[in-house]
């Protein structure tokens, strides 16, 4: 058996030199220090994305992206397709865990100031991946074509329409018609399974390539105790963690399976208590708190402009944090990070309890 394996390995190696890749990976080192734990979260995000691709493709075998058939096709997946309910439940739970781990990965690299030279582009591609992940969540949410999804999409796309000049055309582009209709579902389906995976994979490739070329960053304020080879030591630790999160995912998916609810009925009045996914809640709740007019400007519009500007500033952190770039301590970064986390948590909780 071992001989056969060695022969296959040599056959492939003579043609594509995989031993060079193994040599390259074994020359890579991961710094050891008291914050090393944060190096694992990018890998966990990657793992959840792989699960999304695999379960997503399996769902497309039976899912039908039209308003007449979408709800029924999911009912079929859940009741007739062998393990269909499980695949759907894993896809929905893994989507939540994926976004949750990206939040952790993003804030940890922010507090560690990993975005400083030469990793500015790693940060920028990361923030783009974050926005794309939210778009994955938003577009996926409509696909079951149930009551909750329908009205949440209506409210979400209405918010886009508030922005002057570009708002209305953008809303029309997303919806494919004046209202949320079957045309919106077809579009969201195309975004979710074609456009977003394509753009996301391209940017993820650049993100991971940059991490490979530049290696892992060392902390600013702490001495590194030593190094661990990436392959196999760090890689095997990554695998153990993946196994652990796979177990968490399995328990959640089996014991709290996804529900389907009632089929969307565009003519029915919006049911009470329409709520977006938890990762949009902090923005949704903040907009609800704003008065309808602040001085001469519409309150909701002001909120959207503030969130939009915060998003642009977040994307450009490496370019305005000049102090860190010069190698000085910048406490403002800690304050901004802590404020953002508290704001997100408090607004999310208020969104659920109010």
Least distance CB 145 / ligand HEM (angstroms): 9
Beta carbons of 160 and 167 less than 8 angstroms apart: yes
Between CA 276 and CA 283 the distance in angstroms is 10
Residues 6 or more apart from 349 whose CB is under 8 A from it?
A: none
Q: Give yes or no for residue 242 binding ligand HEM (CB under 6 A).
A: no
Q: Which of 67, 114, 153, 324 binds ligand HEM (CB under 6 A)?
A: 114
Cβ count near 181 (within 10 Å): 14
> What is the maximum alpha-carbon separation in the chain?
79
Residue found under tokens 């969104």: 351
Least distance CB 246 / ligand HEM (angstroms): 16
Residues 6 or more apart from 124 whose CB is under 8 A from it?
A: 315, 316, 318
Residue found under tokens 């507090």: 111
Q: Is 1 helix (H, G, I), strand (E, B) or coil?
A: coil
Q: Which is nearer to ligand HEM, 172 or 220 (CB)?
A: 220
Alpha-carbon distances, residue 53 vs 59, 133, 138, 201 (angstroms): 10, 13, 16, 10
Residues 321-350 that bind ligand HEM (CB under 6 A): none
Both tokens of residue 339? 């404020």
Q: Which of 71, 88, 174, 187 binds ligand HEM (CB under 6 A)?
A: 88
Interface mask toward ligand HEM for 201-240; x: CB under 6 A: ---x--x---x----xx-----------------------
Interface mask toward ligand HEM for 154-193; x: CB under 6 A: --------------------------------------xx
Between CA 10 and CA 8 the distance in angstroms is 6
Q: Which of 67, 71, 84, 143 binds ligand HEM (CB under 6 A)?
A: 143
Q: Give yes or no for residue 153 binding ligand HEM (CB under 6 A).
A: no
Residues in touch with ligand HEM (CB under 6 A): 39, 41-43, 45-46, 49, 52-53, 56-57, 59-60, 63, 74, 88, 91-92, 95, 98-99, 102, 105-106, 109, 114-115, 119, 122-123, 126-127, 129-130, 133, 136-137, 140-141, 143-144, 192-193, 197, 204, 207, 211, 216-217, 258
């Amino acid at each position: 058996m071992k001989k056969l394996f060695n022969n296959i390995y040599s056959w492939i190696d003579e043609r594509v030199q995989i031993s060079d890749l193994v040599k390259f990976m074994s020359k890579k080192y991961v710094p050891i220090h008291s914050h090393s734990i944060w190096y694992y979260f990018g890998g966990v995000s990657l793992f959840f994305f792989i699960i999304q691709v695999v379960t997503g493709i399996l769902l497309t075998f039976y899912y039908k992206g039209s308003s007449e058939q979408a709800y029924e096709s999911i009912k079929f997946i859940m009741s007739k397709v062998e393990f269909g309910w499980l695949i759907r439940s894993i896809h929905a739970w893994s989507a939540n865990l994926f976004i949750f781990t990206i939040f952790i990965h993003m804030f940890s690299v922010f507090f560690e100031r990993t975005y400083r030279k030469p990793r500015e582009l790693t940060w920028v591609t990361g923030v783009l991946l974050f926005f794309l992940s939210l778009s994955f969540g938003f577009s996926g949410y409509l696909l079951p074509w149930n009551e909750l999804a329908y009205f949440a999409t209506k409210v979400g796309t209405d918010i886009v329409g508030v922005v002057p000049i570009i708002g209305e055309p953008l809303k029309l582009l997303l919806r494919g018609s004046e209202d949320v209709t079957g045309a919106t579902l077809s579009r969201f389906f195309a975004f979710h399974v074609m456009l977003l995976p394509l753009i996301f994979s391209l940017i993820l490739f650049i993100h991971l390539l940059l991490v490979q070329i530049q290696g892992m960053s060392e902390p600013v304020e702490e001495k590194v105790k030593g190094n661990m080879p990436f392959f196999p030591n760090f890689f095997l630790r990554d695998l153990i963690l993946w196994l652990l999160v796979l177990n968490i995912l399995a328990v959640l998916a089996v014991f709290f399976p996804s529900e389907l609810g009632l089929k969307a009925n565009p003519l029915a009045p919006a049911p009470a208590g329409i709520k977006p996914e938890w990762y949009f809640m902090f923005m949704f709740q903040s907009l609800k708190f704003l008065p309808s007019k602040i001085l001469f400007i519409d309150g909701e519009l002001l909120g959207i402009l503030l969130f939009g500007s915060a998003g642009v500033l977040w994307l450009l952190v490496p370019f305005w944090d000049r102090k860190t770039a010069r190698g000085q301590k910048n406490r403002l970064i800690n304050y901004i990070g802590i404020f953002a986390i508290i704001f997100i948590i408090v607004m999310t909780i208020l969104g659920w309890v109010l």
